[in-house]
Amino acid sequence: MTFPRFIIGCMLLLLSALPLVGQAQDRQKTTRVDLIRADDIRFDREIAPDARRLIGDVKFQHDDVLMYCDSAYQFTQANRFNAYGNVHIQVSDSLEIFGDKLYYSGNTRIAELHGNVKMIDNQMTLTTQHLYYNLETNTANYIDGGKIVDAENTLTSIWGFYYADEKNFFFKDSVKLENPQYVMNSDTLRYNTYTEVAYFFGPTTIVSDENTIFCKNGWYDTRNDIARFSKEAYYTNGEQYLSGDSLFYDRNRGYGKATNNVMLKDSVQNTFITGELAEHFEREHLSEVTRRAVLTVVSQNDSLFLHADTLRSIHDEENDRRILFAYQKAKFFRHDLQGLSDSIVYNFSDSTVYMYHNPVIWSENHQLTAQRMEIKTADENRMESIHLFDASFIVSMEDSSAFNQIKGRNIVGHFRDNELWKIDVFGNGEALYYVRDEHEEIFGVNKSLSSDITVYLEENAVSRIVLHTNADANLFPPNELPHDERFLQNFRWITDKRPDKKEDIFVW
């Protein structure tokens, strides 16, 4: 035994004996250890004046406890004995202790066992090489390593303390609990052998084939496979990572819940979601975050931040695709792109964003509206194209009272380096844009009608318009066009809803 462990052993022995002070006063006197039988009794004064050597089928009784061994030295004046070979202590009908060697004091009622020690009760079996057992307080402790085996679990640690009456074990240093479904490693742990509930009070990791869980405080019901974790708690299955101030997990249901300061990270898609409440359903491959939920799509150039009342992530294993749903009051911000919609769906497999129920997109100085939209993106979340369906409208401001406008049934916008460079209008096309001279002065307003229209832009300004069918185009001097005719039907300019920074995504 190393010196530090010797000190710890002495402290634990002292702590286990402390209750004896008051109890000894209650009993008034110490009871004697009685020798019940032995095949041969010899006196050995060379060892001590009162030493008796007992050989063969030795049996002692102290109060209601029976102790057996092959041989022993009994010291009657000191009210103690040393037992050797096949040591057996019958503590009660439900608790027995075995070992190779025993030092027992009747005055303190502390038994010190050495060599192949085994303690058995109705719920578990403890094995160790060195064990202290206090018969007065029904407590046991070991400091050189021990193993507990019950119906489903095997638990090992460097030292442990056992309260037999409450069925509570306290473990410290290299604690390991092995279950057929997982392996738990902890710094400090309390385990009840009756309820099979483990409580953690230090860094703890639970590893299974499906996932890994870490925390610094919490409990795990090993019988029912439910648990609660806190203090830097997180859950991960390799691709997804879930953390929060408090985690609840039901292994049988495959259900997890995180509350307060929640983060759900997807390393494959390079995204993470934060919020105050998250739920994860393993079997359905579904995660949901609410209460100030925010999706962050990480990019080297510019990350995108999206908020909605509810963010739901689903992994379609059959088609190997992941889909994100943003429900109610969805709003996002990126420095070069902003938008809002009642609901947004993002398909990670083809990098397509779907926006429903009167969405709005702002890109540079352009505002895009429609009944619904689809946005195609490429690597690093670069926009390739945007499809506007039904009541499509694109507006950009020339000055405080002049707006370029394009409308039609459906519109497709094409992007280069995240800048709109071409617009295709399909059905009921209309265009109104202001024309500038070489001095950048407005000298005319062009109004065009055509079933289909193509508009080309340079540096976010209209450079050319192509009218494909049933074309009708007129150029008006600005002063000759009445004010009410400078706006196409259903014109809206709603930049007051446009987020200027990521914090604005929470403002609806």
Mean pLDDT, residues 483-508: 92
Residue 12 — pLDDT band, cuts 50, 70, 90? very low
As to burial, measured by CB atoms within 10 angstroms (0-12 exposed, 13-18 middle, 19+ buried), residue 41 is middle
Could you tell me the sign of the dihedral formed by the alpha carbons of 186, 262, 289, 321, in that order? Answer: negative
As to burial, measured by CB atoms within 10 angstroms (0-12 exposed, 13-18 middle, 19+ buried), residue 80 is middle
Q: For residue 478, what pLDDT is reported?
A: 85
SS3 23: helix
Whole-prediction pTM: 0.74
Q: Closest Cα partner for 146 from 182, 109, 119?
A: 119
Q: Is the pLDDT of residue 16 over 70?
A: no
Measure CA of the first residue to CA of the last residue in the chain; give whole Å.
Answer: 68
Q: For residue 401, what pLDDT is reported?
A: 83
342-351 pLDDT, tens digit each = 999 988 888 8
Looking at residue 505, what DSSP letter applies? G
The listed range with the strongest mean pLDDT (64-73, 180-189, 231-240, 351-360) is: 64-73
Q: For residue 372, what pLDDT is reported?
A: 95
Q: For residue 17, what pLDDT is reported?
A: 42
Q: Closest Cα partner for 357 from 329, 394, 395, 387?
A: 329
CATH annotation of 237-357 = 2.60.450.10
Q: Is the pLDDT of residue 19 over 50?
A: no
Element (H, E) at 298: none
Higher pLDDT, 218 or 316: 218
Q: What phi, psi does 15 have (nearest 5°)?
A: -65, -40
Higher pLDDT, 419 or 362: 362
As to burial, measured by CB atoms within 10 angstroms (0-12 exposed, 13-18 middle, 19+ buried), residue 131 is buried
Name 380's Cβ contacts closer than 8 Å, sequence gap at least 6: 299, 300, 301
Q: For residue 380, what pLDDT is reported?
A: 63
Q: For residue 381, what pLDDT is reported?
A: 67
Mean pLDDT, residues 194-209: 91
Q: For residue 423, what pLDDT is reported?
A: 93
SS3 201: coil
How far, in Å, CA of 168 to CA of 197, rounded? Answer: 10
Residue carrying structure tokens 């109060």:
63
Both tokens assigned to 153 = 């679990």
Mean pLDDT, residues 326-336: 93
Name 342's Cβ contacts closer than 8 Å, sequence gap at least 6: 328, 329, 330, 356, 357, 358, 359
73-87 pLDDT, tens digit each = 999 999 999 999 999
How far, in Å, CA of 306 to CA of 326, rounded? Answer: 8
Q: Is the pLDDT of residue 233 over 80?
A: yes
Residue type, 221: D
Q: For residue 1, what pLDDT is reported?
A: 39
How far, in Å, CA of 313 to CA of 355, rounded? Answer: 16
Both tokens assigned to 327 = 């429900």
Both tokens assigned to 81 = 């004995």
Q: For residue 266, what pLDDT is reported?
A: 81
SS3 67: strand
How many Å is the Cα radius of gyration of the chain? 39
Q: Is the pLDDT of residue 11 over 70?
A: no
Element (H, E) at 424: strand 419-436
Q: For residue 26, what pLDDT is reported?
A: 45
Q: Is the pLDDT of residue 370 over 70?
A: yes
How far, in Å, CA of 459 to CA of 127, rounded? Answer: 79
Could you tell me the sign of the dihedral formed by the alpha carbons of 241, 245, 249, 255, in that order? Answer: negative
Q: Is the pLDDT of residue 14 over 80?
A: no
Q: What phi, psi does 17 have (nearest 5°)?
A: -95, -10
pLDDT averaged over every residue in the chain: 88
Report CA-CA distances (Å) from 162 to 88, 139, 159, 476: 19, 5, 10, 95
Pairing between β-strand 146-150 and β-strand 159-163 as defined by DSSP bridges: unpaired
Report CA-CA distances (Å) from 171 to 3, 154, 157: 20, 13, 6
Residue 183 — pLDDT band, cuts 50, 70, 90? very high
Report CA-CA distances (Å) from 485 to 52, 140, 350, 477: 121, 93, 42, 13
CATH annotation of 364-499 = 2.60.450.10
Residue 29 — pLDDT band, cuts 50, 70, 90? low
Mean pLDDT, residues 177-192: 91
Domain limits of the chain? 237-357, 364-499
Q: What phi, psi does 73 have (nearest 5°)?
A: -110, 120
Q: For residue 13, what pLDDT is reported?
A: 41
Q: For residue 206, what pLDDT is reported?
A: 92
87-137 pLDDT, tens digit each = 999 999 989 999 999 999 999 999 999 999 999 988 899 999 999 999 999
